[in-house]
């Protein structure tokens, strides 16, 4: 298997490290800046004897080196700066996505695309339109990250291990994301039986603000350890073909009453990408919030 990562910044390089150490696939790290992907690839290769991986790692500025990739992960783009919304990035990163996809659809026409570039849902939609790929092969990394962040917040709040938290976050990767309390359990107990409404709202707001909090703390750049880990979880599910349900940004065509937009929904992933969008029984207020979240993505897409 061959995985190409477009963009060798913090997210791309950290993801390359995870892929290399897992020995899931050969890895190509591509960037427009000469020397950077080559240097990071060489650094990863120098680590191989110590860590024990043997897969091929290539750093390049040439899309021809990505030819025949099974999975292409797109991280290239400008990061959020303090005070900057994801919406501010739409036009700035839209041109980058168009250029990347133009190359990828030529070199790897059968690849599964995973988009990480922000604003995530809008960029995944743009990648889908520009590539002409089947909807099953264009996926945005969003809900998987938001879900892991929410798990951390809940485990910390209730003093349990991460494995004892069951939850899922749907909707836009942004302020209108929808943590599903109806599908959240702490050590098997519904969270709605463990906290009052105001506390639950506080916890939901914490996950909505997680990305911006990291941007503010760093002062320059944005999160990369958790995003790369979330993307790697998606890659593992694709490679394993194990029907694991994850929240990802995908094209809705009537599911949950949403159509014509990319937003975070529960799916089963496999070797060909998205096998199906899973229908969960959710509360009426959650469904309403999910539709409103999708509408906010539509508004963002209209500016492309």
Q: How many C-beta neighbours within 10 Å does residue 106 have?
A: 11
Q: List 27's β-bridge partners, or say none.
A: 3, 57
Q: Angle at the Cα of 5 (from 135 to 29), degrees rounded to 5?
A: 160
Torsion of CA 201, 202, 206, 209, to 10 degrees: 70
Chain-centre distance of CA 174, in angstroms? Answer: 12
From the candidates 40, 86, 173, 206, which is the catalytic residue?
173
Cβ–Cβ < 8 Å for 298, 261: yes
Cβ–Cβ < 8 Å for 221, 13: no
> Residue 46 catalytic?
no
* φ, ψ of residue 134 in degrees (nearest 5): -60, 145
CA distance linking residue 179 with residue 71, whole number of Å: 28
Active site residues: 173
């Amino acid at each position: 298997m061959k995985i190409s990562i477009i963009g060798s910044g913090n997210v791309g390089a950290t993801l390359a490290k995870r892929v290399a150490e897992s020995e899931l696939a050969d890895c190509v790290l591509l960037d427009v800046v000469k020397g950077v992907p080559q240097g990071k690839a060489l650094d990863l290769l120098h680590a191989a004897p110590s860590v024990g991986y043997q897969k091929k790692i290539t750093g390049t500025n040439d899309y021809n080196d990505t030819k025949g990739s099974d999975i292409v992960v797109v991280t290239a783009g400008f990061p959020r700066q303090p005070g900057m919304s994801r919406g501010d990035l739409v036009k700035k990163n839209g041109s980058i996505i168009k250029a990347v996809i133009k190359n990828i659809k030529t070199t790897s026409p059968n690849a599964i695309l995973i988009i990480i570039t922000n604003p995530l849902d809008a960029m995944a939609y743009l990648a889908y339109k520009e590539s002409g790929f089947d909807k099953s092969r264009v996926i945005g990394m969003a809900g998987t990250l938001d879900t892991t962040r929410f798990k951390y917040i809940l485990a910390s709040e209730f003093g349990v291990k991460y494995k004892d938290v069951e939850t899922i976050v749907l909707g836009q990767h942004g302020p209108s994301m929808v943590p599903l309390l109806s599908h959240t359990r702490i050590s098997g107990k519904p969270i709605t039986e463990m906290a009052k409404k105001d506390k639950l709202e506080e916890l939901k707001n914490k996950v909505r603000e997680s990305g911006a909090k990291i941007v503010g703390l760093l002062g320059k750049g944005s999160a990369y350890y958790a995003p790369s880990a979330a993307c790697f979880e998606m890659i593992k599910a694709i490679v394993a073909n194990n029907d694991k349900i994850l929240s990802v940004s995908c094209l809705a065509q009537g599911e949950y009453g949403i159509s014509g937009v990319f937003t975070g929904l529960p799916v089963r992933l496999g070797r060909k990408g998205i096998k199906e969008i899973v229908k969960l029984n959710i509360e009426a207020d959650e469904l309403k919030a999910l539709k409103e979240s999708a509408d906010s993505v539509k508004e963002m897409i209209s500016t492309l």
